[in-house]
Amino acid sequence: MESRPLAHSLGYPRIGADRELKKTTEAFWAGRRGASELLQVGRELRRANWLAQRDASIDLIPSNDFSFYDQILDLSCLLGNIPARFHWDGGPIGLNLYFRIARGARANDDACCPAAASEMTKWFDTNYHYIVPEFDARTTFRLSGAKPFEEFAEALALGIRTKPVLVGPLTYLHLGKAAGIDKLSLLESLTGVYAEILRRLAEQGAEWVQIDEPILTLDLEPAWRDAFAATYRSLRAAAPSLKILVATYFGELRDNLPLAAALPIDALHIDLTRGNDLDAALAALPPAMALSLGVVDGRNIWRNDLDASRKLIERARARGRDILLAPSCSLLHVPVTLRAETTLDEEFRGWLAFAEEKLAEVAALSRIATSEGDPVLAYRSRVAIQSRRASTRIHRPAVKARCEAVTAAATKRRAPFPERQAAQRARLQLPLFPTTTIGSFPQTEEVRAARARWKKGSLSTADYEKFLEGEIARTVRAQEELDIDVLVHGESERNDMVEYFGEQLEGYAFTKNGWVQSYGTRCVKPPIIFGDVSRPHPMTVRWSRYAQSLTDRPMKAMLTGPITMLQWSFVRDDQPRSATARQIALALRDEVLDLEAAGLSVIQIDEPALREGLPLRRADRAAYLAWAVEAFRLSAAGVRNDTQIHTHMCYCEFNDIMGPIAALDADVISIETSRSNMELLSAFTDFRYPNEIGPGVYDIHSPRVPATGEMVDLLRKASAVLPRENLWVNPDCGLKTRGWDETLAALRHMVQAAATLRAQS
């Protein structure tokens, strides 16, 4: 009989089904658990993951995909690339130094001196954050750890010959930040260490190694493209017996396909859930190179359409080439198991697959390919696909019809900005340099405890609402005492800015335990958008109206924008993201109009995730920005001229998207600028941003209370480059992670700073 394709996996979630890793690591940091206990939990998790994958009939099981914090940090440690400020002595890197690099060293640590944490940034277009490697003229590489070897041996002792996983040398360099050198100048010495690693793995008995080069799905400079061939020739020569699989994911290879196909490797993995052209890959690869098909979506939670996947596999096998099957990328980006989701109804659960279930799908596909498949799984897949296609829980004709009826007029405010600005000035009567905040006020232990009791049922809804009214009243009073101009209600009713809205919208679902690692021990539980989205009832009006009733000053209502609602959720795979965004936008539009009717004169629609939704390839960005901007405008544009629309984004790299930002046509935008000393405002000044703008004057990520003078300086800088009558005064972001004392002190200084500037004008 024909041999079946190897089923493999690119990586498995390491947090544990019950977030054991998070809990133990945090206990270790707090001094409640010792290093040996943490190491033991790590061993147990690896063992459980390997055994789970073996039980799922996965042929090639990964190792070295485990991490106590981040796999790129692990790699930096393995390569001996530790920033000089941590004073590494060149010896073994223990847990304390490892976590210090990730989280920074404090003066009272056992470290010799304080050192800033390494930077963290998003891993491609995911919500996972890695620790950014640092390179400078002094950077050298030397094999400085044994993690991949130890983990390989650990699994071998269980009888599992794993496929060690390493992020490739070009991706590692590309993702780092360099000071004063060309990163590629480091490639040769880096490749030398990789060669040594491969040799040692081969000696240990590894048969396969997986080298991840996801940068092959990016637009690459010629020098980077050219560097691949020689690098992989060296790696090949270092370990001729080792089978090298190069893994790409998160996008299409496009112009990088010929270069990948020419590498001296044994197999290439492509992500078929992100539009890769299978036929192009089949045509480009030399006959001896195996093709690994990423058919099961590692970025989303839907059950695979096994029939559709089988067709792809058959097409690939028809050419006689060796095929491997896998999820599209590491399963790090999905929750661990559906087993804990006991509160979801049977039909809905049947639509889903988390990491554990996805591996079963890969294994089943490998068997289906030679028709010894798992009939039960194949049947369930068919049922799920059928029911999702027809379900009235998903498909709501009224929502679809309303979306289709959207006209260009619905995305336009009634008058151009200057006219609106005049109307808003007449209505709001604000001073020059008006002060406001971004929305949330401190979420104290008390607030969280009350919500927890209410969710458990030990606090009645009436009592919980009384409690929230008390919080709102205190927040409003505090702002009046501070003499802030545009007030907020404080968002104490919200656990999370997406979840709060998702819970009230049709078409959203929530899991009990669907945690995904975001960075280090931080995990998030993204909602699932499964169906047509609509708003059955107002979501925030009650709280904003109440807050407005307590004051004569303008109250600003707070909403989470359509792109952020989309970006921070698992989304439907049965319609384009743009269609889902439009549905959410219409739901928010209704809320905006209800708020306006309730007397709110200022409404803020937060879009902190707009930028992170940018596609990886430049060629795809314009299309995304077009529908994203349309969705925002659709949510906002229904209001009168004298209703002021704000938006907020907690970052400031706007240079390449200034046109679309302006096209949002928000009356006021608040952004983060304090940490860059207003330098990043240049995008707005160069562009001559026409509307009003609130460049953040203090960093809310730190408990430090900035002096009035510091904020005055920042505001002077801003008013030197922007029309002063367009300037607002606000913090960088919401205050929910801060305590009340520091918040009141910082806001008092902020109001004083605004007063100082007014007095000088």
Active site (catalytic) residues: 701
Question: Choosing among Zn ion, ligand GLN, none, which partner's interface includes residue 757 (Cβ < 5 to 8 Å by kind)?
Answer: none
The whole-angstrom separation of Cα 704 and Cα 25 is 27
* Closer residue to Zn ion (CB): 16 or 694: 694
* Closer residue to ligand GLN (CB): 24 or 440: 440
The whole-angstrom separation of Cα 211 and Cα 201 is 13
In the region spanning residues 499 to 558, those forming contacts with ligand GLN, defined by CB under 6 A, are 558
The whole-angstrom separation of Cα 539 and Cα 78 is 50
Q: Where are the beta strands (DSSP E) in 234-362?
A: 243-247, 267-271, 290-296, 323-327
In the region spanning residues 477 to 506, those forming contacts with ligand GLN, defined by CB under 6 A, are 491, 497
* Closer residue to ligand GLN (CB): 13 or 608: 608
Long-range contacts of 104-110 (CB under 8 A, 24+ apart): none
Instruction: Give the H or E element holding residue 509.
Output: strand 506-509
Which residue among 439, 442, 507, 660 contacts ligand GLN (CB under 6 A)? Answer: 439
733 binds ligand GLN (CB under 6 A): yes
C-beta of 728: minimal distance to ligand GLN in Å?
15
* Closer residue to ligand GLN (CB): 620 or 699: 699
Give the contact letters, 394-423, x = binds to ligand GLN (CB under 6 A), - = no: ------------------------------
The whole-angstrom separation of Cα 73 and Cα 660 is 35
Residues 355, 13: contact at Cβ < 8 Å?
yes
Degrees, nearest 5: CA angle 307-311-314? 130
C-beta of 173: minimal distance to ligand GLN in Å?
31
Residues 82, 88: contact at Cβ < 8 Å?
yes
The whole-angstrom separation of Cα 692 and Cα 665 is 10
In the region spanning residues 366 to 395, those forming contacts with ligand GLN, defined by CB under 6 A, are none
734 binds ligand GLN (CB under 6 A): yes
Q: Which residues contact 319 (CB under 8 A, 6 or more apart)?
A: 282
* Pairing relationship of beta strands 129-131 and 120-122 according to DSSP bridges: antiparallel
Residue that has been written with the tokens 């390491």 in this structure: 14
Point out the residue whose Cβ comes nearest to ligand GLN: 734
Question: Choosing among ligand GLN, Zn ion, none, which partner's interface includes residue 497 (Cβ < 5 to 8 Å by kind)?
Answer: ligand GLN
Residues 275, 250: contact at Cβ < 8 Å?
no
Which residue among 310, 358, 648, 738 contacts ligand GLN (CB under 6 A)? Answer: 648
327 binds ligand GLN (CB under 6 A): no
Which residue among 102, 296, 650, 754 contacts Zn ion (CB under 5 A)? Answer: 650
DSSP-H helix ranges across 532-600:
541-549, 562-567, 577-597
581 binds Zn ion (CB under 5 A): no
* Closer residue to ligand GLN (CB): 186 or 605: 605
Among the candidate windows 141-149, 318-326, 518-526, 732-740, which touches ligand GLN by CB under 6 A?
732-740
C-beta of 303: minimal distance to ligand GLN in Å?
32
* Closer residue to ligand GLN (CB): 411 or 564: 564
Give Cα separations from 684 to 253, 442, 680, 712 (angstroms).
34, 30, 8, 20
Question: Choosing among Zn ion, ligand GLN, none, which partner's interface includes residue 558 (Cβ < 5 to 8 Å by kind)?
Answer: ligand GLN
Among the candidate windows 137-145, 582-590, 620-628, 642-650, which touches Zn ion by CB under 5 A?
642-650
Instruction: Give the H or E element holding residue 95.
Output: helix 95-103
The encoded tokens of residue 344 equal 């979801």
* Closer residue to Zn ion (CB): 201 or 602: 602
Rounded to 5 degrees, what are φ and ψ at 305?
-85, 95
Residue 361 is which amino acid?
A: E
The whole-angstrom separation of Cα 530 and Cα 106 is 44
Point out the residue whose Cβ comes nearest to Zn ion: 650
671 binds Zn ion (CB under 5 A): no
Which residue among 438, 516, 533, 693 contacts ligand GLN (CB under 6 A)? Answer: 438
C-beta of 524: minimal distance to Zn ion in Å?
16
Residue that has been written with the tokens 């490739």 in this structure: 168
Question: Choosing among ligand GLN, Zn ion, none, which partner's interface includes residue 736 (Cβ < 5 to 8 Å by kind)?
Answer: ligand GLN
* Pairing relationship of beta strands 290-296 and 323-327 according to DSSP bridges: parallel
C-beta of 650: minimal distance to ligand GLN in Å?
4
Residues 276, 307: contact at Cβ < 8 Å?
no
Among the candidate windows 72-80, 436-444, 620-628, 748-756, which touches ligand GLN by CB under 6 A?
436-444
Count of CA atoms in the C-beta half-sphere (13 A) of 674: 23
611 binds ligand GLN (CB under 6 A): no
C-beta of 606: minimal distance to ligand GLN in Å?
5
Enter the DSSP assignment of 651.
-
The whole-angstrom separation of Cα 546 and Cα 666 is 25
The whole-angstrom separation of Cα 596 and Cα 424 is 13
Residues 691, 726: contact at Cβ < 8 Å?
yes
* Closer residue to ligand GLN (CB): 163 or 648: 648
Which residue among 736, 743, 744, 753 contacts ligand GLN (CB under 6 A)? Answer: 736
The whole-angstrom separation of Cα 669 and Cα 728 is 9
* Closer residue to Zn ion (CB): 69 or 501: 501
Torsion angle of C-alpha atoms 5, 11, 14, 17, degrees rounded to 10 = -40
Question: Choosing among Zn ion, ligand GLN, none, which partner's interface includes residue 373 (Cβ < 5 to 8 Å by kind)?
Answer: none
* Closer residue to ligand GLN (CB): 488 or 753: 488
C-beta of 646: minimal distance to Zn ion in Å?
12
* Closer residue to ligand GLN (CB): 8 or 648: 648
C-beta of 733: minimal distance to ligand GLN in Å?
5
738 binds ligand GLN (CB under 6 A): no
Among the candidate windows 86-94, 404-412, 420-428, 728-736, which touches ligand GLN by CB under 6 A?
728-736
Count interface residues toward ligand GLN (CB under 6 A): 13
What count of other Cβ atoms lies within 10 Å of the Cβ of residue 308? Answer: 12
Among the candidate windows 120-128, 244-252, 277-285, 607-615, which touches Zn ion by CB under 5 A?
607-615
The string of DSSP codes covering 730-753 is --SS--TTS-HHHHHHHHHHHHHH
* Closer residue to ligand GLN (CB): 14 or 129: 129
Give the contact letters, 569-608, x = binds to ligand GLN (CB under 6 A), - = no: -------------------------------------x-x
440 binds ligand GLN (CB under 6 A): yes
733 binds Zn ion (CB under 5 A): yes
Query: Edge-to-edge, what's the strand order for the sheet holding 323-327?
Result: 6-7, 323-327, 290-296, 267-271, 243-247, 208-212, 163-167, 62-63
Among the candidate windows 48-56, 474-482, 510-518, 730-738, which touches ligand GLN by CB under 6 A?
730-738
Binding site for Zn ion (CB under 5 A): 608, 650, 733
Binding site for ligand GLN (CB under 6 A): 438-440, 491, 497, 558, 606, 608, 648, 650, 733-734, 736
